[in-house]
Structure 1
Amino acid sequence: MSDERLRRLNAMRDCDRILSGVRPKTMRDRLADLEAGGDLDGWPDFYGDGPVEALEERVAGLLGTQAAVFFPTGTMAQQVALRYGADRTGIPAAALHPLGHQEVHERHAYAELTGLRGVRSTIERRNPTAAEIARLGEPVSTVVIELPMRDAGFVLPSWDELVAVAKASRAIGARVHFDGARIWESTPHLGRSLHEVTALADSVYVSFYKSLDGISGAVLAGTADLGDYARAWRHRYGGTIFQQWPAVLIALAGLDRELPRLPRYVRHARTIAEALSLLPGAKVYPQPPHTHQFRLWLPFPASALGAAVLAMAERDGVWFAGGWQDADVPGYAVTEVTIAGHALEWTADDVAEAGARLLAEL
């Protein structure tokens, strides 16, 4: 870990107030989370039984699927989902968005390790529409929908759009796979329960560390046939690990603690986003946010914003938002804002005051 990153983590951990993100946890903090996830006097898992099976059953119940299979990483789970579609349909191609996780963050594992070919579903900064799927022009085994699409700004379709694209995918003979790493917080915008949302898909991947405060791990959920297939390929990919109980217990704790809070985070994100949009030169997208995460642009260099945030945190004990990057918009930098935990304590006036303080620092 770099000295600069360590400095940011220490500063954020010591802040009394945090607007974006959650307070970083040490390894000792994580040990305390284990207690909340299950009986530490019980037996650990052995190659996927015990606590792993308990988590799988819990997630299958939450999603309303026949099966759920735990994977150490989402990258592995998504490869298996696309491989399954290709094997079952005989079509070695999948419809993917160029901003989707498989293309941007997984180093094209579906192509490099599985030999599949990606077909671009759309070039718009959103998920594909039913019309775009209908005119793909070539057969695909799976259509991937990312809920929400993180690299487009955490954007979601409407419920009617999602229903239509699922129908259009099946009309061309394709399966529907939801890249649902953050599907947990998508239900308020869609206006439907998790059961109703996942019922539109043939397979769903969910993550435990992106919104539920886990340390690692994912689940691939779907039919019983998919579950059998996923367990076989999980083993072949090296994902059937001897023991994974720390990640599993902390995931269970996250389901208990964070999942019920997500609707509140989503609602409060709208208040915070509106207040941030009133800062001089600020731009917020989407407005209002679709989930509890959104993007914020300010008219300063990323390096200057990062330094100002850190200085304000170390001096005043207030963390504004980190992770600034220079944007495509000339003269602006952008960051991802996550409303969770301590951010619920912030009012619009608090945001205005902290924003003014940050701008004065700049």
Structure 2
Amino acid sequence: MTSIIIDRALRATCQTFLHGNGPITPRVWMERMLAMPEIELAGDEYNVGPGIDLLQAQVAGLLGKPTALFFHKAVVGQQAVLFAHRERTGRRLVAVHPKSHIAADESDAVERLSDLRLVRIGPDDAPFTLADLQGVKEPLAAVVVELPLRNAGFRAPSWEDLVAMSAWCREQGIAFHLDGARLWETQPFYGRSLAEIAALADSAYVSLYKGLGAPGGALVVGEAAFLDTLKPWRSRMGGNLYTAFPYVLGGLYGLRHFLPRMGDYHAHAAALAEALSTRDAPWAADRVMCNSFRLVWPVAAPALANALERMARVEGIWCFGRVIPLPVRGHCCTEMVVGDATMAHEPDAIADRFARLLTVARG
């Protein structure tokens, strides 16, 4: 079902933001970059430069891997990983969840651009497990686990399931890759270091723009010899940008400013879910696994979208950017992302606001 996008022009007119870090304008990005000491470094050209070197070294160190490789776009980085495993193993099959980003949000890129084939495993509303993997009877080139699984409500495997899948893949000689688009945000849920989580995988991707607030960019971490095989694929897919300094400086800023706050964001998200459970309000996840969770509203999507636009227009409050219809009649959902803007409001106050919003939507 098609999501209803809330009029983005209204966002610029709002004074109060309950979702994420609030609006980040080009001016805000430029001011952050100009305040960075790294602004004095020599510029990068075609993925070579001191800023990119510094960023790659910092991310590799945080994730406990020998090296990291910068990509302008995660879609390119993860395709490069899978194409490299295809070449290395001669195998064509990759196990993914049916609601993973690779399977659901990339216009079938992997299968249209190569002879790789995706094996979609696991239930619709939860991550797959070792039992699902063991049910695949054909040889796999790689297994991709998305942390967390956004399209299933930001769900993550248990630590025990993650360890079991990692061990099985190593026994079978199958590459284990983490789609860590929100790995930064999921780390507090596991209560283990980023390096401990990444140690389970042969390679992992992390985003610079989701949790870290950069204008864009991504990195893949792993063994140096393997990452060297990704460089030709990066070039083939248009990844040799003349300069990427906005992404690089934005990523360095995010590592410094946003990464240390991930534990606070997760705790605030859990407190908000708990506060919502005591009200006639949207239903939140029973267990919050990162700084984000899904809210289910017992009202039709158009009615909630109208109420959200009215709140933005009349009260200057921005809650969510889109409303997602659900197959259950008279129900829809939104995604709640906790960031700096959310932290300015107590969970009880936000829960009261959402309860009132539901009342307005019911009309």
Q: Same-fold call, TM > 0.5?
A: yes
- Give the structure 2 partner of residue 255 of structure 1: 255
Q: Which amino acid aligns with 2:184?
A: W
Alpha carbons of 1:124 and 1:312: their partners in 2 closer, same or farther (altered >3 Å)?
Answer: closer
TM-score, normalised via structure 2 length: 0.93
Q: Which amino acid aligns with 1:288?
A: R
1:166 aligns with 2:156: no
Residues of 1 paired with 2:152 and 2:348: CA distance? 29
Q: Note the C-alpha offset of 1:278.
A: 3.2
- Residue 279 of structure 2 aligns to a residue in which SS? coil
- Give the structure 2 partner of residue 303 of structure 1: 302
Residues of 1 paired with 2:239 and 2:228: CA distance? 14
- Give the structure 1 partner of residue 175 of structure 2: 175
- Residue 39 of structure 1 aligns to a residue in which SS? helix
How do 1:91-110 and structure 2 match up within 5 A? 91-110=91-110
Q: Which amino acid aligns with 2:151?
A: D
Alpha carbons of 1:21 and 1:310: their partners in 2 closer, same or farther (altered >3 Å)?
Answer: farther
Q: Note the C-alpha offset of 1:124.
A: 4.2
Residues of 1 paired with 2:351 and 2:227: CA distance? 49
- Give the structure 1 partner of residue 216 of structure 2: 216
Residues of 2 paired with 1:65 and 1:335: CA distance? 35
TM-score, normalised via structure 1 length: 0.93
How do 1:67-106 and structure 2 match up within 5 A? 67-106=67-106
In 2, are the aligned partners of 1:45 and 1:245 still within 8 Å (CA)?
Answer: yes
Residues of 2 paired with 1:312 and 1:121: CA distance? 40
Residues of 2 paired with 1:191 and 1:42: CA distance? 35
Alpha carbons of 1:77 and 1:296: their partners in 2 closer, same or farther (altered >3 Å)?
Answer: same
- Residue 169 of structure 1 aligns to a residue in which SS? helix
- Give the structure 2 partner of residue 236 of structure 1: 236
In 1, are the aligned partners of 2:98 and 2:124 still within 8 Å (CA)?
Answer: no
Residues of 1 paired with 2:240 and 2:10: CA distance? 35
Residues of 1 paired with 2:69 and 2:36: CA distance? 18
- Structural RMSD (CA): 1.8
Q: Note the C-alpha offset of 1:4.
A: 6.5
Residues of 2 paired with 1:6 and 1:321: CA distance? 10
Alpha carbons of 1:141 and 1:313: their partners in 2 closer, same or farther (altered >3 Å)?
Answer: same
Residues of 1 paired with 2:20 and 2:300: CA distance? 21
- Give the structure 2 partner of residue 111 of structure 1: 111
Q: Note the C-alpha offset of 1:123.
A: 3.3
In 2, are the aligned partners of 1:72 and 1:216 still within 8 Å (CA)?
Answer: yes
How do 1:253-292 and structure 2 match up within 5 A? 253-280=253-280, 282-285=282-285, 287-292=286-291
Range with greater deviation from structure 2 (94-103 or 349-358) = 349-358
In 2, are the aligned partners of 1:79 and 1:114 still within 8 Å (CA)?
Answer: no
Alpha carbons of 1:352 and 1:202: their partners in 2 closer, same or farther (altered >3 Å)?
Answer: closer
- Give the structure 2 partner of residue 189 of structure 1: 189
- Give the structure 2 partner of residue 126 of structure 1: 126
Q: What CA deviation, in whole Å up to 9, does each residue of 1:142-172 have, x standing for no partner?
A: 0111111111110111111110011122222
Q: Which amino acid aligns with 1:228?
A: D
Q: Which amino acid aligns with 2:11?
A: L
- Give the structure 2 partner of residue 62 of structure 1: 62
Range with greater deviation from structure 2 (313-322 or 130-139) = 313-322
Range with greater deviation from structure 2 (145-154 or 118-127) = 118-127
- Give the structure 2 partner of residue 346 of structure 1: 345
Alpha carbons of 1:43 and 1:301: their partners in 2 closer, same or farther (altered >3 Å)?
Answer: same
Residues of 2 paired with 1:232 and 1:60: CA distance? 20
Residues of 2 paired with 1:146 and 1:299: CA distance? 28
- Residue 209 of structure 2 aligns to a residue in which SS? coil
Alpha carbons of 1:273 and 1:169: their partners in 2 closer, same or farther (altered >3 Å)?
Answer: same
Residues of 2 paired with 1:27 and 1:281: CA distance? 35
Q: Which amino acid aligns with 1:9?
A: R
1:293 aligns with 2:292: yes
In 2, are the aligned partners of 1:139 and 1:172 still within 8 Å (CA)?
Answer: no
In 2, are the aligned partners of 1:178 and 1:205 still within 8 Å (CA)?
Answer: yes
- Residue 136 of structure 1 aligns to a residue in which SS? coil
- Residue 85 of structure 1 aligns to a residue in which SS? helix
Identify the structure with bigger relative contact order (alpha carbons < 8 Å, sequence gap 6+).
2
Q: Which amino acid aligns with 1:206?
A: V
1:316 aligns with 2:315: yes
Number of aligned pairs?
356
- Give the structure 1 partner of residue 325 of structure 2: 326
Q: What CA deviation, in whole Å up to 9, does each residue of 1:230-274 have, x standing for no partner?
A: 122211222011111011101110111100111100011011112
- Give the structure 2 partner of residue 149 of structure 1: 149
Q: Note the C-alpha offset of 1:210.
A: 1.1
Q: Which amino acid aligns with 2:140?
A: V
